[in-house]
Amino acid sequence: MQPGVCIQPAARLAARPQYHAVLAVEWDAQLMLRVRDGDVSSFALLLERHRGPVIQFLYRMLQDHAISEELAQEVFLRVYRSRATYEPAAKFTTWLFRIATHLALNHIRDRKGEKGVQSLDRELTDGLARQVMDHTPTVEQRLLFEARMQEIRDAIDQLPAKQRAAVLMHKYKEMDYVGIAATLGCSESAIKSLLFRAYEALRARLAHFA
Protein backbone atom coordinates (compact mmCIF):
# COMPACT_ATOMS: atom_id res chain seq x y z
CA MET A 1 0.00 0.00 0.00
CA GLN A 2 1.53 3.26 -1.09
CA PRO A 3 0.62 6.62 0.50
CA GLY A 4 -0.88 9.35 -1.61
CA VAL A 5 -3.03 7.10 -3.77
CA CYS A 6 -5.95 9.09 -5.14
CA ILE A 7 -9.55 7.97 -5.19
CA GLN A 8 -10.19 6.44 -8.56
CA PRO A 9 -12.87 7.95 -10.82
CA ALA A 10 -16.25 6.26 -10.68
CA ALA A 11 -16.06 5.37 -14.37
CA ARG A 12 -12.81 3.47 -13.84
CA LEU A 13 -14.24 1.69 -10.81
CA ALA A 14 -17.36 0.73 -12.73
CA ALA A 15 -15.17 -0.85 -15.40
CA ARG A 16 -13.63 -3.19 -12.85
CA PRO A 17 -15.52 -6.51 -12.35
CA GLN A 18 -15.32 -6.54 -8.56
CA TYR A 19 -17.19 -3.24 -8.41
CA HIS A 20 -20.14 -4.18 -10.62
CA ALA A 21 -21.91 -5.80 -7.64
CA VAL A 22 -21.41 -2.82 -5.34
CA LEU A 23 -22.36 0.14 -7.51
CA ALA A 24 -25.68 0.30 -5.69
CA VAL A 25 -24.05 -0.24 -2.30
CA GLU A 26 -23.76 2.61 0.19
CA TRP A 27 -20.94 5.08 -0.25
CA ASP A 28 -19.14 3.97 2.92
CA ALA A 29 -18.97 0.39 1.68
CA GLN A 30 -17.56 1.54 -1.64
CA LEU A 31 -14.93 3.57 0.19
CA MET A 32 -14.01 0.51 2.23
CA LEU A 33 -13.68 -1.57 -0.93
CA ARG A 34 -11.23 1.03 -2.21
CA VAL A 35 -9.34 0.76 1.08
CA ARG A 36 -9.18 -2.99 0.45
CA ASP A 37 -7.50 -2.17 -2.87
CA GLY A 38 -4.91 0.03 -1.18
CA ASP A 39 -6.48 3.49 -1.42
CA VAL A 40 -5.23 5.37 1.65
CA SER A 41 -7.27 8.49 0.92
CA SER A 42 -10.52 6.49 1.09
CA PHE A 43 -9.62 5.31 4.59
CA ALA A 44 -8.94 8.94 5.55
CA LEU A 45 -12.45 9.82 4.34
CA LEU A 46 -14.01 7.02 6.40
CA LEU A 47 -12.05 8.17 9.43
CA GLU A 48 -13.20 11.75 8.93
CA ARG A 49 -16.84 10.73 8.48
CA HIS A 50 -17.15 8.32 11.40
CA ARG A 51 -14.53 9.09 14.04
CA GLY A 52 -16.74 11.67 15.79
CA PRO A 53 -19.86 9.46 16.02
CA VAL A 54 -17.79 6.50 17.24
CA ILE A 55 -16.13 8.57 19.98
CA GLN A 56 -19.53 9.99 20.97
CA PHE A 57 -21.04 6.51 21.20
CA LEU A 58 -18.12 5.17 23.23
CA TYR A 59 -18.25 8.16 25.57
CA ARG A 60 -21.93 7.58 26.26
CA MET A 61 -21.12 3.98 27.06
CA LEU A 62 -18.03 4.63 29.19
CA GLN A 63 -18.17 8.27 30.38
CA ASP A 64 -14.44 8.73 29.92
CA HIS A 65 -13.11 10.96 27.13
CA ALA A 66 -9.58 9.56 27.17
CA ILE A 67 -10.72 5.92 27.09
CA SER A 68 -13.31 6.71 24.40
CA GLU A 69 -10.69 8.26 22.13
CA GLU A 70 -8.29 5.41 22.80
CA LEU A 71 -10.91 2.78 21.97
CA ALA A 72 -12.02 4.72 18.88
CA GLN A 73 -8.45 4.54 17.64
CA GLU A 74 -8.53 0.78 18.23
CA VAL A 75 -11.84 0.53 16.33
CA PHE A 76 -10.39 2.10 13.21
CA LEU A 77 -7.18 0.15 13.58
CA ARG A 78 -9.23 -3.05 13.49
CA VAL A 79 -11.17 -1.76 10.49
CA TYR A 80 -7.93 -1.12 8.65
CA ARG A 81 -6.43 -4.46 9.62
CA SER A 82 -9.57 -6.19 8.30
CA ARG A 83 -9.43 -4.45 4.92
CA ALA A 84 -8.10 -7.46 3.00
CA THR A 85 -11.10 -9.63 3.93
CA TYR A 86 -13.78 -6.92 3.84
CA GLU A 87 -17.00 -7.73 1.98
CA PRO A 88 -20.06 -5.40 1.95
CA ALA A 89 -22.38 -8.04 3.40
CA ALA A 90 -23.97 -5.51 5.78
CA LYS A 91 -24.03 -1.74 6.19
CA PHE A 92 -20.58 -0.38 6.93
CA THR A 93 -21.87 1.43 10.03
CA THR A 94 -23.36 -1.81 11.37
CA TRP A 95 -19.97 -3.46 11.09
CA LEU A 96 -18.23 -0.39 12.52
CA PHE A 97 -20.47 -0.10 15.57
CA ARG A 98 -20.30 -3.85 16.14
CA ILE A 99 -16.55 -3.43 16.64
CA ALA A 100 -17.07 -0.36 18.86
CA THR A 101 -19.70 -2.12 20.96
CA HIS A 102 -17.52 -5.20 21.37
CA LEU A 103 -14.62 -3.09 22.63
CA ALA A 104 -16.86 -1.08 24.97
CA LEU A 105 -18.46 -4.18 26.48
CA ASN A 106 -15.04 -5.79 26.95
CA HIS A 107 -13.80 -2.64 28.68
CA ILE A 108 -16.84 -2.60 30.99
CA ARG A 109 -16.36 -6.28 31.76
CA ASP A 110 -12.69 -5.76 32.53
CA ARG A 111 -13.54 -2.94 34.91
CA LYS A 112 -16.03 -4.95 36.95
CA GLY A 113 -15.24 -4.60 40.60
CA GLU A 114 -13.94 -1.08 40.10
CA LYS A 115 -15.98 2.06 40.50
CA GLY A 116 -18.91 1.81 38.12
CA VAL A 117 -18.74 3.91 34.97
CA GLN A 118 -21.60 6.33 34.42
CA SER A 119 -23.52 6.37 31.20
CA LEU A 120 -25.30 9.57 30.20
CA ASP A 121 -28.35 9.41 28.00
CA ARG A 122 -29.24 13.07 27.60
CA GLU A 123 -31.15 12.36 24.41
CA LEU A 124 -33.81 10.58 26.46
CA THR A 125 -34.38 13.82 28.37
CA ASP A 126 -34.57 16.24 25.44
CA GLY A 127 -38.35 16.45 25.72
CA LEU A 128 -38.09 17.37 29.40
CA ALA A 129 -35.36 19.89 28.60
CA ARG A 130 -37.50 21.57 25.96
CA GLN A 131 -40.44 21.69 28.33
CA VAL A 132 -38.43 23.43 31.02
CA MET A 133 -36.57 25.78 28.68
CA ASP A 134 -39.63 26.87 26.69
CA HIS A 135 -40.18 29.42 29.44
CA THR A 136 -37.64 31.35 31.42
CA PRO A 137 -36.94 28.94 34.27
CA THR A 138 -36.98 29.97 37.85
CA VAL A 139 -34.24 28.93 40.25
CA GLU A 140 -36.57 26.24 41.58
CA GLN A 141 -37.25 24.92 38.07
CA ARG A 142 -33.54 24.76 37.32
CA LEU A 143 -32.85 22.87 40.52
CA LEU A 144 -35.70 20.47 39.77
CA PHE A 145 -34.46 19.95 36.22
CA GLU A 146 -30.91 19.23 37.38
CA ALA A 147 -32.18 16.80 40.01
CA ARG A 148 -34.26 14.97 37.42
CA MET A 149 -31.33 14.79 35.00
CA GLN A 150 -29.21 13.20 37.69
CA GLU A 151 -31.92 10.67 38.47
CA ILE A 152 -32.18 9.73 34.79
CA ARG A 153 -28.41 9.38 34.50
CA ASP A 154 -28.34 7.19 37.59
CA ALA A 155 -31.17 5.01 36.24
CA ILE A 156 -29.40 4.50 32.90
CA ASP A 157 -26.14 3.77 34.67
CA GLN A 158 -27.84 0.88 36.48
CA LEU A 159 -28.80 -0.86 33.22
CA PRO A 160 -26.73 -3.91 32.29
CA ALA A 161 -24.07 -3.10 29.69
CA LYS A 162 -25.84 -4.75 26.74
CA GLN A 163 -29.13 -3.06 27.58
CA ARG A 164 -27.34 0.28 27.83
CA ALA A 165 -25.66 -0.29 24.45
CA ALA A 166 -28.98 -1.22 22.83
CA VAL A 167 -30.72 1.86 24.25
CA LEU A 168 -27.92 4.13 23.04
CA MET A 169 -28.06 2.70 19.54
CA HIS A 170 -31.86 2.86 19.50
CA LYS A 171 -32.07 6.45 20.77
CA TYR A 172 -28.86 8.11 19.60
CA LYS A 173 -28.22 6.34 16.32
CA GLU A 174 -31.89 5.70 15.54
CA MET A 175 -30.95 2.19 14.52
CA ASP A 176 -33.75 -0.30 13.91
CA TYR A 177 -34.00 -3.73 15.53
CA VAL A 178 -32.27 -5.40 12.59
CA GLY A 179 -29.28 -3.06 12.78
CA ILE A 180 -28.93 -3.37 16.55
CA ALA A 181 -29.23 -7.16 16.31
CA ALA A 182 -26.45 -7.28 13.72
CA THR A 183 -24.29 -4.99 15.84
CA LEU A 184 -24.71 -6.94 19.08
CA GLY A 185 -24.72 -10.34 17.41
CA CYS A 186 -28.22 -11.24 18.64
CA SER A 187 -31.47 -12.19 16.97
CA GLU A 188 -34.03 -9.49 16.27
CA SER A 189 -36.40 -11.02 18.83
CA ALA A 190 -33.62 -10.97 21.43
CA ILE A 191 -33.05 -7.25 20.79
CA LYS A 192 -36.76 -6.52 21.16
CA SER A 193 -36.71 -8.35 24.47
CA LEU A 194 -33.51 -6.56 25.53
CA LEU A 195 -34.94 -3.12 24.77
CA PHE A 196 -38.28 -3.99 26.37
CA ARG A 197 -36.52 -4.95 29.62
CA ALA A 198 -34.34 -1.83 29.48
CA TYR A 199 -37.24 0.57 28.98
CA GLU A 200 -39.37 -1.24 31.56
CA ALA A 201 -36.53 -0.87 34.06
CA LEU A 202 -36.20 2.83 33.27
CA ARG A 203 -39.96 3.36 33.53
CA ALA A 204 -40.04 1.60 36.90
CA ARG A 205 -37.12 3.61 38.28
CA LEU A 206 -38.49 6.90 36.95
CA ALA A 207 -42.19 6.24 37.57
CA HIS A 208 -42.38 9.09 40.05
CA PHE A 209 -41.75 11.53 37.17
CA ALA A 210 -45.30 10.87 35.98
Q: Where are the domains of the chain?
A: 1-117, 120-210
pLDDT, tens digit, 9 for 90 and up, residues 2-53: 444 444 444 444 444 444 444 445 889 999 999 999 888 899 999 999 999 9
Q: Is 51 helix (H, G, I), strand (E, B) or coil?
A: helix
Q: Does the fold of domain 120-210 match that of domain 1-117?
A: no
pLDDT, tens digit, 9 for 90 and up, residues 113-149: 554 434 444 444 445 444 444 445 566 666 666 677 7
Max CA-CA distance within the chain? 67
Burial code (b: 16+ CB inside 10 Å, e: under 16) for 91-129 equals: bbbbbbbbbbbbbbbebbeeeeeeeebebbbeebbeeee
In sequence order, the 6+-apart residues with CB closer than 8 A to the CB of 186 are 180, 194
For the chain, give me the number of helices (H) and strands (E)?
11, 0
**What CATH number has the domain spanning 1-117?**
1.10.1740.10
Regarding the domain delimited by 120-210, which CATH topology (the fold level of the hierarchy) does it fall under? Arc Repressor Mutant, subunit A (1.10.10)
